[in-house]
Chain A
Amino acid sequence: MAELAFAMPALGADMERGRVVRWRVKPGDTIGRGQVIVEVETDKGLIDVECFHDATVMALLVPEGVEVAVGAVIARLDVAGAAPTAEGPRAPPATEPARLPPTSAAPAMPPVATPLGARVIASPLARRRAAALGVDVATVAPGTSGRISAEDVERAAATSTRERDPKEAMRRAIAAAMAKSKREIPHYYLWQSVDVTDALAWLTAHNARRPVTERVLFGALVARAVARAAAAAPEMNGAYLEGAVRSSLEVHLGFATAQRGGGLVAPALLDAHTLDVDAMMSAIADVVARVKSGGLKSREMSAGTITLTALGELGVDGVLPVIQPPQLAIVGAGRVTERPWVVGGAVVVRSVLTLSLAADHRASDGHRGARFLQNIVKNLVPPEAP
């Protein structure tokens, strides 16, 4: 038997806390890889959190309705045939969760602060619960005994779950992630105008006899081209973590999606490099519907290896985007517009798209970035028959 401490995952670089809304398993349950075990409310909405092990549930440590810090242990699992390990605090972009050495089996926890000179009397159990719940024991009011019990900790945790305006919370989360990106990632930017007339003609023909339920939008062609190019560009696809580039073999393409009424999420289209045009369209439609109605999965929120942001529908010519930490690059697409274009020495009217790239200079140089952008263009016009 091997025990696994299941921690509140960071569903994106900007998440600090999450509230356990509903447990979907109970102690004694046998769970499979990929099974949703808990619903967590975050700044980005309600997320289904999956487990990436075959395991038996030993204990659920956080009651429903309680908010804890990222990294706090929320459940104990018995993992068949696995070494003791801690899941989180952030799953790397690769499919396998981090295998930390046994010495770090206790998840990273904010140190329990005690004001100098004040002595906090708390039972070991209370301290463990406080750590699990992300509660500072020094702030917990002791019960009548004068000694802080686990119950006191739980009460404090429950009452500290303040009601928050979700819009404001999301704004703060975006602010934190983008400020971190601009502070830490040395961005460089490239852009290119691309004649997409042939791609649009292909798309019109592709859609001509299709029912509305099978229709493909231009964004799916762009997403497919970016995913294919990313699969061949390790310095653009993955993460920069602990001072090193961690390239990903798979492409999980973050698809920046505006929420109605403000805010932004970029859930990942998993294994996007393997999808043909129709499968890409279905994947986008599925994820966009769940951005609006809930039900995004934890893996979709944390697995992104590169992001695409398309703002052309709002009329902008192009976008110089900000990289989502810890990713290595982000591709931007502006609007498709008719422009005079020179073909074979003559000026003709063509449909033109401005593609842009922001990439991490720690991972690549402009030369590689230019090749990557070229490769996107190559995959865009004209698309191969699916």
Chain B
Amino acid sequence: MIMTRLASILFFAILAVGFLGQADVAVAKEKAADNYSLYCVQCHGSKGTGRGINAPALSVQPRNHTSAKDMSSLTDESVFKSIKEGGVAVGKSTQMPPWGGILTDEEVTDLVKHLRGMCKCEGKK
């Protein structure tokens, strides 16, 4: 009887942990999507194709985040660095600003994952 009780407590505990973990992931993903909307869409566009409202004023076309060909040519580390330190840090345009003073490292890491979801591609190894 006691064993059955313990087993059911353990079962529900495992379920609860599972749900919590899932909730964490879901929140993290949504946060990255929200951060993308607020900070990236102004140049990269709501579709992520590089055609945001600021794009016509830029001398360099913002990167198309949905392009598997373009995005798979970049390592996750270089994408992280360009978001955090700006385009100059990876030899690209100054028009990509450094978001490290606004976003945490964790938020930038989540954004890299979000971009990989947008391009449906993996980073260059």
A and B: interacting chains:
no
Chain B contact residues, CB within 8 Å of chain A: none
Chain A contact residues, CB within 8 Å of chain B: none
